[in-house]
Structure 1
Amino acid sequence: MSHELKGSDLTRAMLARGDENIWCAVCDESDEQAMMDQCGNDFTAYIVSFNDGYFYCSAGMPWSYAVPIKISAVMPFEVSI
């Protein structure tokens, strides 16, 4: 059995450790739904805190789920240029 943290549990652990401004996919339904709502980058936010059962983004909005994500620049070799 794996005890590896993932999804919103990982975000909570990162905040408890003192990490700041964690870039996350966010949603009010589930971790899985947060990762599916990435079309157009509409549902991502910098998460700055977790209070009263909600993740709060830098704009002050509460979210039920926040999955940490990585965003990186596309390299020329990735698009055959």
Structure 2
Amino acid sequence: MGNELRGSNLARAMLERGDKQVWCAIDDESDEQAMIAHDGNDFTAYIVSFKNGSFYCTGGMPWLCAVPIKISEVMQNETIC
């Protein structure tokens, strides 16, 4: 694994370098929990800042954990697991 940034550490680094909105899976327990589907609901948000130990989304809500994610269009020939 080395020194590769992941999870909330990566989200903080992206904001520090000037990224304006970072699409993230969010949770208040852990990065691992953020990546788990919560009863069929997707807990994702655009994260716009990190201050006082919390990540803040475009709606102004604070979150303790924010894991950057990618969202891409599914094409007809792709299989979804």
TM-score normalised to structure 1 length:
0.91
The alignment yields a C-alpha RMSD, in angstroms, of 1.3
Query: Number of residue pairs matched?
Result: 78
Give the Cα separation in 1 of the matches to 2:78 and 2:41: 20
Aligned residue identity for 1:60: G
Give the Cα separation in 1 of the matches to 2:47 and 2:15: 9
Cα distance, 1:11 vs structure 2: 0.2
Instruction: Detail structure 1 runs of 4+ shifted over 6 Å in the superposition.
Output: none
2:47 corresponds to which residue?
47
Percent identical residues = 64
1:59 corresponds to which residue?
59
TM-score normalised to structure 2 length:
0.91
1:34 corresponds to which residue?
34
Other structure's SS at 1:49 match: strand
Structure 2: 5+ residue stretches without partners: none
Higher helix share: 1
Give the Cα separation in 2 of the matches to 1:65 and 1:50: 10
